[in-house]
Structure 1
Amino acid sequence: MRSLKVFKYSAVALFSSALFSMSSCSIDVVPQDRYVEESIWADPSTVELYVNGMYAELKKFQFGLFPNLGYDNAMDALADGMKFTSNTPGNGTVNILISNANQFSPASVGLNYWGSGYDRIRRVNEFIGGLKTKSQLSDEDKVKYEAEARFIRAYAYFWLAKLHGSVIIFRDIEAYATKDNPRSSEEEVYDFMLEDLDFAASNLPVTNKSGRAAKGAAYALQSRIALFAGSIAKYDQKQFNTDPLTGIKAARATDYFTKAAAAAQATIDLGQYELDANFESIFTNKNTKEAILRVDFVAPTMTHQYDLGYAPPKDALGNTLVYGVPTAELVDEFEMKDGSKFSWDNPAHAANPYANREPRFYASILYNGSAWKGRTINTSTADAAEGFVQFGAQGDPKRTVTGYYTKKFLDPKNTNFVVNKSTQSWIELRFAEVYLNLAEAKGQLGDFAGASTALSTLRAKRTLPAVSLPNLTKAMEIIEHERNVELAFEGHRFWDLRRWRKAHTVLNATKMTGHKITPNGADFTYEVVPADASDRSFTGKLYYLPIPEGEVQINLGLTQIQGW
């Protein structure tokens, strides 16, 4: 099992990894003597490189990536807000996964982070062990660096827990002395993560270097994880898996929701972050006060290719890749400017569907008639370069199959991204999510006034009217809508549906849709058409994905998740 390897000269290996993450040059020769390892721990600058290297874990999930799955926003394409355009393996792997739940098995997990996650956890534990036994840093610095390391460990464990529920806990480097390691219960795994984040929040500074976790990041991640745990405790109820180690006792739901609310409020009380009045600029402004923790890029050495993957074709003379496009389901979720619901059954709305919509719509979606980079977007069937094409008509069409393109994250000033690539930051933890977490946790605790205040504070910054959440049913309905719109394309929706145990109803036996837009004189007609070639497939079994088969075979203490 990769996660249980004994890494000789582990400090040197980690140092090399950190250096690699900080530059474009690989290190081919690793010093092999003990003296060099000890000298690394004696130099504070190399410890900084250790820590910087650990934050590379965030880059594995930037812009909705998932390790080994491929492309930016792949996680949103697993849900109902984005449709990947290709139907061929590679660009279209997500479409293959969502079309048949039987694609998931111990031999072909589909969403596999096990080896990668446990490699990171091993490195973190080695680092913490080195801090305590070899480092010559001050006690104050040791505690601070341990806090950052435990933040990263909780982050890695959270991805493992979201996939499998019950996984192996390694508390320290001494735990690796045991060859065969069993899974801990899902409840124990979540408690372990929250314990790590308690330590991080208590010992991290209020401000830290760019791209590094500070106190607010620990609280914000804790609110996310505790909300997830509370949701499982409330909604799973052992309906979908009989494994004795999966699931969380329903009696613990209140504990977790209380923790989520307290952590969200603590983030707000720090006074370090602000909701940005200009929603569109949040994702291209490196100085936005909404960013609690972000991954920065600087040309030419550290770049990404989001624009190449998602910009409409004419941005680069037909050379964009258009991996995914917004679904009609998501587009219709955006409200009107006055806060009322959009409806195709409303004649005024249907006659001019993109007029008088809320600001987040115009910041997130490129639609037929959008002004973009000095031109007017035409997604109708009349435009052979950028207009609608039926999904499946071409294997890899590189244009919209729903009548829309994404706008969120795209850099409107970047006109040469094919050559120069892109440098927008990825915001891993955003202040708006904290308000959404607070609203949901308070709603689950029966504090509907507090939930209403939290959600209305966020909506006010989006120039939308306040809302009233009078009971839990209505609160969850409104909060789900708000999360769907506010966090679109940020990689949350698929996991929200899973923690609420709604994925098997929203993502099963249904097709997502698009709008086929056809010129009709001076106007257009809008036809709802399927964006999926076949019904989607999500069964309750998928709430707990299997552990990769090879890991179970190597680790004699590890049992497979029951049902697989």
Structure 2
Amino acid sequence: MKKKNSIQKYISGSIALVLLLLGMYSCNEDVLDETPLDFISTTNAFNSPDDVEMGVVGLYSLGRDWYSAINEKYMFVFTALGTDLAYFGEDPAGGYMSNWDTDITPTSDLPERFWTKAFDLVYQSNTVIAGIENLEWNNEEKKNMYLAEALFFRAFNYRILVTLYGDVPLVIEPIATPKTDFVRAPKADIYKLMEEDFAFAADKLPVNGQEAAAGRLTQGAAWHMLSETYLAQNKYQLAVDAATHVINDYGYDLMRERFGSQPNLFGSENVYFDLFTKENHNLGSNKEAIWVIQNDPDVTGGGFYAGERGYGCAYYRMGNTPDGYKAFLGDINNGSYTGYSDTLGRPVGWSRPTNYTAYNIWKSDWDNDYRNAEACIKRHFYFNNPNSAYDGMEIDWSLYESRSSVFKDTTQYIYPYFMKAAAPNDHYTDLSRAGGGVNHKDVYAIRLAETYLLRAEAYLGLKQPGKAADDINEVRKRSNATPISAGDVTIDYILDERARELYTEEWRMLTLMRLGKLVERVSAYNNNPGNPGLSIQDYQNLWPIPQTEIDLNTGGVLEQNPGYE
């Protein structure tokens, strides 16, 4: 197994530096405009390679928020909510991303929060970059490795900004004095910077297997992101070339045989299940993992994964059996039942998959595709109370004469639960540390299956559907899905395959925006019963520039995106 504790021990040590850097901003002030009285400069924050190490690992810690923060719900907005894949099950009519017309406006919360978070990480990256450049080094290779990591994080967060907002300010140096004259740089300039940053990272990062610790970036991750960056600009051959580097040059491979900690659970065939079993993400035998976000509950600042809380259905909230007993007794604590169970993570039901995600994309291969197996998508739930005559029977709403919660029965309480987000029966028994809808699985940020699908998209752009089908079939065959032909390949089919393979992993919001397909597919596939189609408008393939940014930028003009004026 690859080392896991190295990066985590540095994360805990870097918290002080992270907080110091974050202290440069007040929580209610504009991230671009405010300069603190106790400004930290690159000359006094980075005095040694050890300081640089702490600063770089601080970027990993801050970047992990995109994958784990519960209250901010960053992860769920990126992966599913507001897209074709899911709606807010806890409150379909008024919850997160249930209405684009009211949730995504110049004065609403989400656009400002994401803008601030992404620019904060751009700023932190610039601070570390400048600190690296200002320090005298005896080891040029080490300097370039740290520089590559910081440049990767800058480009990674500009990827978020340019996709969500279009033209955005181009900031490549730390801001040492108050600045209120930002202008929006053309997307082409942002992509040029991203290409340069990712290309440097692809050259100077360690190769796969040589990284200092699990979770540290490697050349393969940079080539993968470079491929997507080229795709965003319709540079299809360059995208193919970049993805091919990942597929051919670093020893990665799709996992085709059972592996890891539970290789015989649920039969001998479903290797897809193994990819998401806790502790398997970082195994040296896992050749598919390219970049894994690290979570470790036993280390200060070790992180967590809120997948169960968000993606799982709140089955334990459904109330009583048809004969009046609690449907689930729950766990026993201090001799009495808690009323809930942590075996599946005490989920809330934030990200309820649409019918497209839960049913439609599986129809043609329902019984063949391992990704649709019960081990991967839990579709059957059972009453669990020995006092009831229904104990052990499958929950079926037709067993009830009537229910007052018909709406929530299928939007929050019982729906297909994608088990890749869960860690069944693997939670702390200490209730002060357990549950709450979080577990401590690691999380794939980049997996080789997605690289194949990126290259398939590039081949389609080059009008080579046969090669695109070959790449898609590499992914499908691993899961026993029926191969497709060149004539089947369209951009919508690739999006379907991404949903089958990458739900809960890919940042679907960015994928659809990059392709200009967001409005079309949300309107067609988001069957939120409280607001079908989510009231998305034709102009909303971009988010608005936050009005606070426009108002505070008194020395320049930040034009608003069309439709939001």
TM-score by length of 1: 0.74
Using a 3 Å threshold, how does the CA distance of structure 1 residues 81 and 545 change in structure 2: closer, same or farther? closer
Q: C-alpha separation between the residues in 2 aligned to 1:545 and 1:35? A: 32
User: Is structure 2 residue 255 aligned with structure 1 residue 276?
Assistant: yes
Q: Is the 2:106–2:544 contact (alpha carbons within 8 Å) kept by the matching residues of 1?
A: yes
- State the SS of the aligned residue for 1:151: helix
In structure 1, the partner of 2:287 is 289
Alpha-carbon displacement from aligned partner over 1:466-518 (angstroms, at most 9, x marks no partner)? 32223xx73324322211111112243333332332222222377517xxxxx
Counterparts of residues 254-273 of structure 1 (less than 5 Å): 256-273=235-252
In structure 2, the partner of 1:250 is none
In structure 2, the partner of 1:101 is 101
Q: C-alpha separation between the residues in 2 aligned to 1:502 and 1:34? A: 43
| CA RMSD between the two structures | 3.8
- Tell me the CA shift for residue 29 of structure 1: 13
Counterparts of residues 447-526 of structure 1 (less than 5 Å): 447-470=464-487, 474-508=489-523, 512=527
- State the SS of the aligned residue for 1:427: strand
Using a 3 Å threshold, how does the CA distance of structure 1 residues 370 and 500 change in structure 2: closer, same or farther? farther
- State the SS of the aligned residue for 1:408: helix
- Tell me the CA shift for residue 23 of structure 1: 8.2
- State the SS of the aligned residue for 2:407: coil
Q: Is the 1:511–1:532 contact (alpha carbons within 8 Å) kept by the matching residues of 2?
A: no
Q: C-alpha separation between the residues in 1 aligned to 2:46 and 2:533? A: 56
Q: C-alpha separation between the residues in 1 aligned to 2:498 and 2:21? A: 46
In structure 2, the partner of 1:5 is none
Most deviating of 445-454 and 326-335: 326-335
In structure 2, the partner of 1:11 is none
Alpha-carbon displacement from aligned partner over 1:282-321 (angstroms, at most 9, x marks no partner)? 1221323222111111123423443344264357643622
- State the SS of the aligned residue for 2:80: helix
In structure 1, the partner of 2:157 is 156
Structure 1, unaligned runs of 5 or more? 1-16, 231-252, 343-355, 514-530
In structure 1, the partner of 2:29 is none
Q: C-alpha separation between the residues in 1 aligned to 2:413 and 2:360? A: 22
In structure 2, the partner of 1:52 is 57
Using a 3 Å threshold, how does the CA distance of structure 1 residues 129 and 388 change in structure 2: closer, same or farther? farther
1:224 equivalent among 221, 228, 235: 228
- Tell me the CA shift for residue 226 of structure 1: 2.3
- Tell me the CA shift for residue 86 of structure 1: 1.8
In structure 2, the partner of 1:83 is 87
Letter in 2 for 1:469: A
Structure 2, unaligned runs of 5 or more? 1-9, 24-36, 257-270, 317-327, 332-338, 385-390
Letter in 2 for 1:293: W
Q: Is the 1:100–1:538 contact (alpha carbons within 8 Å) kept by the matching residues of 2?
A: yes
User: Is structure 2 residue 371 aligned with structure 1 residue 360?
Assistant: yes
Q: C-alpha separation between the residues in 2 aligned to 1:162 and 1:459? A: 28
Alpha-carbon displacement from aligned partner over 1:391-442 (angstroms, at most 9, x marks no partner)? 3689xx8513xx3223222112315476434211011111110000011101
Q: Is the 1:19–1:53 contact (alpha carbons within 8 Å) kept by the matching residues of 2?
A: no
Q: Is the 2:239–2:455 contact (alpha carbons within 8 Å) kept by the matching residues of 1?
A: yes
Counterparts of residues 220-369 of structure 1 (less than 5 Å): 220-227=224-231, 229-230=232-233, 253=234, 256-277=235-256, 278-284=271-277, 285-286=280-281, 287=283, 288-301=286-299, 302=302, 303-309=304-310, 310=312, 312-313=315-316, 317-318=339-340, 320=346, 321-335=348-362, 340-341=364-365, 356-362=367-373, 363-368=375-380
- Tell me the CA shift for residue 184 of structure 1: 0.7
Q: Is the 1:366–1:407 contact (alpha carbons within 8 Å) kept by the matching residues of 2?
A: yes
Q: Is the 1:544–1:561 contact (alpha carbons within 8 Å) kept by the matching residues of 2?
A: no
Letter in 1 for 2:514: R
Letter in 2 for 1:157: Y
Q: C-alpha separation between the residues in 1 aligned to 2:427 and 2:56? A: 35
Aligned residues: 475
Letter in 2 for 1:502: K
Using a 3 Å threshold, how does the CA distance of structure 1 residues 45 and 379 change in structure 2: closer, same or farther? farther
Q: Is the 2:125–2:151 contact (alpha carbons within 8 Å) kept by the matching residues of 1?
A: yes
- Tell me the CA shift for residue 120 of structure 1: 1.6
Most deviating of 500-509 and 441-450: 500-509
- State the SS of the aligned residue for 2:413: coil
- State the SS of the aligned residue for 1:86: coil
Q: Is the 1:293–1:429 contact (alpha carbons within 8 Å) kept by the matching residues of 2?
A: yes
- Tell me the CA shift for residue 134 of structure 1: 2.6
Alpha-carbon displacement from aligned partner over 1:228-269 (angstroms, at most 9, x marks no partner)? x13xxxxxxxxxxxxxxxxxxxxxx2xx22222111111112
TM-score by length of 2: 0.74
- Tell me the CA shift for residue 462 of structure 1: 1.4
Q: C-alpha separation between the residues in 2 aligned to 1:88 and 1:439? A: 35
In structure 2, the partner of 1:408 is 420
Alpha-carbon displacement from aligned partner over 1:163-220 (angstroms, at most 9, x marks no partner)? 1010011223479786512111112212211111111111111031211111001011
